[in-house]
Amino acid sequence: EALRYDRVLCDVPCDGSGTLRKSPEKWGKWGVRAGLRHHPTQLAILRRGVALLRAGGTLVYSTCSLDPVQDEAVVLAALAADSSLELLAPDDAFDAETLRHLRWTPGLRSWRVAHPDFDASNGEMFDRWEDVPAALRATDGGDGVALHQTMFHDGHHGTDAFPDGAPFLDRCVRLLPTDDDCGGFFVAVL
């Protein structure tokens, strides 16, 4: 029998866009491709974390990114793949005193996905997976900068799990940078 854990933390690698305010030297390294490259790895880590979680356990998924492709999209894909998962509301995930002191906004319910060559493509973005040209779609042998179906909020994710979208994504927590000494952070408690 596989070893399972009561608690799992998936603090995944990300593009660090939430830390740009406190670490301006990162601006030169940041780009659209970085976020797109991280998405498949983030999803793989989250799925592994779920596989290690015992029934009734708690998993925290976090990034220091504010990019929904690295945040809500990863959480949505995991929820679509495993109906036993539940995304906790902030009131259930954090004690009242902690939540009172955090400066945060709810997770996003929808977002657009940027073209891998966003700057060169004149800022092209996609609302739905169906809008993505075949040449930009990820294949098993892709280089990590192609677009994946799991990056989109449109509820397709290979299942009919959320035919009406995913309004529950507002249960995610986006911690906002409040001064020069702090950064943005994303947290989802499953």
List residues with catalytic annotation. 64
Q: What is the DSSP letter of 89?
A: P
CA distance 93 to 89: 6
CA distance 117 to 123: 8
Q: What residues contact residue 41 under an 8 Å CB cut-off, 6+ apart?
A: 12, 13
CA distance 187 to 173: 5
Reduce the DSSP state of residue 48 to 3 states and report it: helix
For residues 75 and 172, the answer to whether their CB atoms sit within 8 Å is yes
CA distance 141 to 187: 30
